[in-house]
Structure formats: C-alpha cells, structure tokens
Amino acid sequence: MKNYIEKFLKYLEVEKNYSNNTIAAYQDDLMQFNDFLLKHFGNASFKLSMIDHLTIRLFLGELLEEKKSKRSVARKLAALRSYFKFLVKNKVIEQNPGLNVATPKLPKKLPVFLEESAVEKMMDLPDTSTPAGARDKAILEIFYGTGIRLSELINLKLENVDFVKSVLKVVGKGKKERIVPLGRPAVKAIENYLARRNELLKPETNRKDNNIVFLSNHGKPLYPRGVYNIVTGYIKQVAELEKKSPHVLRHTFATHMLNRGADLRAVKELLGHKNLSATQIYTHLTVERLKKIYEQAHPKAQ
C-alpha cells in the first residue's frame, strides 16, 4: 500500500498543486490507516481489494475510542475517500470503499471575529516610528483589509504589490493566483513600511530574501510562527478571545463585509474559496447578529 500512497501524494503535488502542508496531512492520515491495516489483517501482504467500508468504519471507530475529535476523524475519512478515488481512477481497485461510510456529524463552530471597535484599537497599537512597528501595522492592515491567508501573506513578493491599481496579487491554495483590492489604510501602511524596510536588512539577507515583502528583525522572510506571534500579540490587547490567530482577521474581514451588505459571491472570490459553501459559514454570523439586534430593539421580541 505504501507504494500507492507515494504515487497518490505525487499526484496531489504535480497534478492537483496541493500545498506542502496539505500533502503532509494526507501522508500522516494514510500512513496511520496503513498501520491500522497491518494490525487489522495481521499480514503485511494484504491486498487493497480486501479493504471494504466495514474496515474503514473500524478504523474510524478506533480513532473515536482514542478520543480523537470528530473533526479530525472526518478529515481522515476525506483523505481516504480521495485516496481510493485515485486508486479507482487508475484501475487498482474497482470501487471506492469510503463512499458508503458516513461522515461523523460535526458541531457547527462559528468563526471567531473582532468587533469593528476592537479592530480600530488594534490598528493604533503598533509603534510605526520603528521599522518593526511599521511592518506590524502593514501586516494587520493587509490581513483585515484583504482577508488573505497567512501562507499568502508570507509569500508576498515586492512585485505582487501594485500601488497604481491599489491591488495585491496573491497565490492561494492549489497555486491559484487572484487579485485582491487594497483599501487606503492598507496602501498607506504598506508604503510606510516599505520606506523603512531597508532598516531590517542584514548582511545575511540574500537576493531571494530581499524580494519578499515582510522581513523579520533578522532580515529574513517571516515564518508562519513569527507572523502568528505578531498578530496574536495585538489581538490579545483588544479582545478576550479563546482562539487567537491571523485567521481571526480573515474571519473578521468576511464578517464585516457581509454585515455591511457585500454580496456573498464577491466575498467568496476575495477569500479565494473554491466553493460557496465555505463562505456561507459567515452568513450564520450575520443572522445571529440580526437576531441579537431584533431581540434588543423590537418590543415584541421577548
């Protein structure tokens, strides 16, 4: 089975253009399933045709007994379905055993976001008199003003910023490019940062590094953990949220757009979502907000 797993992962990389993180997650899930099969069949030479929907159910049941979250189990099932679909397509097996396995019901978790007042306070926190502060302000403004992902921000190159048209060109999931507009605050913050950016350069900053927009205090491109620490540090100062991450600003962008009347399909394109269903989660937030307003304002609400 390991041989086919390697071929499947290569397929995801070359033909599907999946990110390294996604491929690594698929690899972990499939290797975990392979380890289960070795115990289940008690024979390293088992045939793939021996795997049926009951085998997969037993695997998922074992995960749930180990107190794995339903969300994690659902993700592993999705990985198995994709893997077996690949095997069917390549005529290794006749049918996909994962299709007849029900996905665990997931609790609906609404995205965490900041109120507009909290965002305003947060934008005033960075000390823009310093290169690092100017950089932090630009990062916050871009996240909130465009809704781009963490991976998209750290891979931004200087050539991706168009000040004439006030847009960014970002490379999203599946290496798909999209253009996102920049508001005036974001444009101003980026200009201020780029005016001070050379102060972050160090002797070890090479030509490739120097093409990346956001640099660390050591003159190297910021890593995801570095951006995470920067953003969560500012969020902590303006809101008491259980979950804090750069993704909170992406959620905040989408929520505020919809609250102010933006079209759902337009928000989908801005976020770089493949399917509208991924964007619809934010409509739940706007509905809850309307309910709250109704309950507070209407005399017959209570």
110 touches 291 (CB < 8 A): no
142 touches 190 (CB < 8 A): yes
What is the residue whose two structure tokens read 């000040």? 163
Catalytic residue among 137, 247, 251, 268: 247
Rounded to whole angstroms, the Cα distance separating 11 from 70 reads 27
User: Rounded to the nearest 5°, which phi and psi values hold at 161?
Assistant: -100, 115
Q: How many CA atoms lie within 13 A of 174 on its CB side?
A: 7
From 85, 104, 105, 109, select the one nearest 95 (Cα to Cα). 85
Catalytic residue among 76, 137, 197, 250: 250
Question: What is residue 168's DSSP assignment?
Answer: E
Catalytic residue among 149, 197, 256, 268: 149
Phi-psi region of 272 (alpha: psi -120 to 50; beta: other; left: phi over 0): left
Report, in angstroms and rounded to the nearest whole number, the Rg of the chain calculated over CA atoms: 23
Q: What type of residue sits at position 97?
A: P
DSSP H or E segment with residue 293: helix 276-297
The verdict on whether 149 is a catalytic residue reads yes
In the sheet that 177-181 helps form, which strands lie side by side, from edge to edge? Answer: 161-162, 167-171, 177-181
Catalytic residue among 68, 173, 178, 244: 173
Rounded to whole angstroms, the Cα distance separating 68 from 61 reads 10
Rounded to whole angstroms, the Cα distance separating 222 from 215 reads 5
Residues marked as catalytic: 149, 173, 247, 250, 273, 282
